Structure 1
Amino acid sequence: MRYLTFALTKGRLASKTLDMLEKLGITCDEMKDKNSRKLIFTNEELGLRFFLAKGPDVPTYVEYGAADIGVVGKDTIIEEGRKVHEVLDLGFGKCRMCVCGHEETAEKLQHHELIRVATKYPNIAKDYFYNKKHQTVEIIKLNGSIELAPIVGLSEVIVDIVETGSTLKENGLVVLEEVCPLSARMIVNPVSMRMENDRIKELITNLRNLLREE
């Protein structure tokens, strides 16, 4: 039996995923050792391997078949645009991708004015403004605190993930428009889906049943 390999997003998504899998009897004790320097963790009995990766890398590992299955945020799936099958909404890590800015900027969105948009997610922003709103914008990619951009005048609005909105509020910004809802999703490599169909399908079915019960 070949290994079925999981790429999990480091941090909260990985620990939530492992909690879910544990409820199905899929455990990986090696991963609980906080001092371990191992990069790949194995459950020999079940023929499973796990490794942790940064969010944007997870769809890459899955597309190229280095991982059969990945768990990653919907934002990353859209932004990276990799050739993977999205098979399940795991229901945790819920938040929204939103257009935010000062309240008075709302008008510029209504009138389709040429504005600057700062974001960590240029592809999502581009798709939203160009294809859904048909508004021409200048997109500026940033890596750090996006909220800073409208405050210092770099951009009129930002496109960013909003969980509670408290950071926005503290900085005098509001949600102006919602782009899409987000949560953790399970993705599968298309070839693995064919080759390991039974094992993967069984896992998806069990997870789906678990989600129904919760």
Structure 2
Amino acid sequence: MAGDKMIMAVPKGRILTEVMPLIHAAGIVPEPAFEDEASRQLRFTTNHPELDLIRVRSFDVVTFVAFGAAAMGIAGNDVLMEFDTREIYAPLDLGVGRCRMSVAEPEEMVADDDPRAWSHIRIATKYPNVTQRHFAGRGVQAECVRLNGAIELAPKLGLCQRIVDLVSSGATLKANGLVEVETIAEITSRLAVNRTAWKTRPQAIGRWIERLRATLDATAA
């Protein structure tokens, strides 16, 4: 871990907006620069001298936690499923960032297409490991084309016929002429903990787990 401090990695973007009320309710208040959109700072102190936050991309949260640079982090189970590492323990479902990981294809294909008949497909996705495992489970060979963004463009531009991506309202799919044909997993954000840190600092990490769990229970009550 970075020095003697406990590091918690949080993701940039929509998930951060949804998770910050929970973090505040758990008694964690970052320094003012954390709320400054013009700030290029990435590491922030909190009102707890032993705890700092780092703000990184969602996929990088899992990397920082898996390799022990952060003791804890907040990550969607889409990213946790993609990494599928034994170095991370995810004890809490935080119930934020709800969406689903789905297979989609052009709407004109749907009427004559049956996913149960697929044997080999090419799919654009930023989740190749999850996608290949999902389809291999039913004997389908999935050739994955990895994209990190603008995945909905792939069918229109002839890169492939289908995509696997996260879907919330479905508005982006509809705007690009795509339709969901299969759900791979329901997605929420989790508290992720480095297993080595959990073994070496069980009391410190345990206190934060229990504080966040109590906050979730109070919110649900």
TM-score, with structure 1 as normaliser: 0.90
User: What amino acid does structure 1 have at the position aligned with 2:82?
Assistant: E
Give runs of aligned pairs for residues 63-82 of structure 1, distance below 5 A.
63-82=66-85
Which of 149, 159, 163 is the matching residue for 2:164?
Answer: 159
- Does the aligned pair in 1 maintain the 2:28–2:48 contact within 8 Å? no
Deviation at residue 2 of structure 1 after TM alignment: 3.1
Question: Which segment is superposed worse, 196-205 or 48-57?
Answer: 196-205
Unaligned runs of 5+ in 2: none
1:117 and 1:159 in contact (8 A); partners too: yes
Instruction: Assess if the C-alpha contact under 8 Å between 1:108 and 1:115 holds in 2.
Output: no
Residue from 58, 81, 98 that aligns with 1:55: 58
2:122–2:143: 8 Å Cα contact kept in structure 1?
A: yes
Of 8-17 and 70-79, deviating more is 8-17
Please, which of 96, 113, 132 is the counterpart of residue 100 of structure 2? 96
Counterpart of 1:210 in 2: which secondary structure?
helix
Which residue of structure 2 aligns with residue 85 of structure 1? 89
**2:127 corresponds to:** 121
Residue 188 of structure 1 aligns to a residue whose secondary structure is strand
- Structure-2 separation of matches of 1:45 and 1:57: 24
Structure 1 CA distance, aligned partners of 2:210 and 2:176? 44
Structure 1 letter corresponding to 2:130: I
Counterparts of 2:166 and 2:23, CA distance in 1: 26
* Moved >4 Å (runs of 4+): none
**Per-residue deviation at 1:108?**
4.5
**Aligned residues of 1:18 and 1:27 also touching (Cα < 8 A):** no
**Structure 1 unaligned regions, length at least 5:** none
- Mapped to 1, the partners of 2:164 and 2:14 lie a distance apart of 22
Q: Following the alignment from structure 1 to structure 2, what is the Cα–Cα distance between the partners of residues 143 and 15?
A: 21
If the length of structure 2 is used for normalisation, what is the TM-score? 0.88
Give the letter aligned to residue 5 of structure 2: Y
Task: Answer yes or no: is 1:150 the counterpart of 2:155.
Answer: yes
Return the offset for 1:88: 1.0
- 2, 26, 29: which one pairs with 1:27? 29
Whole-angstrom CA distance in 1 between matches of 2:187 and 2:77: 5
Return the offset for 1:149.
1.7
Which amino acid counterpart does residue 135 of structure 1 have in structure 2?
V
Cα offsets for 1:122-172 (capped at 9, x unmatched): 1111111112x2212322112331112222332121111111111112222
Overall identity of the aligned pairs, in %: 35
Q: What RMSD in Å do the two structures reach over aligned CA positions?
A: 2.0
1:63 CA drift (Å):
1.3
Q: Give 1:44 deviation, angstroms.
A: 6.1
In the aligned structure 2, how far is the partner of 1:75 from the partner of 1:35? 29
Offset from partner CA, 1:70-129 (integer Å, 9 cap, x none): 111111111123321111111011000001113434725221232211112111111111
Tell me which moved more, 3-12 or 32-41: 32-41
Q: Which residue of 2 aligns with 1:130?
A: 136
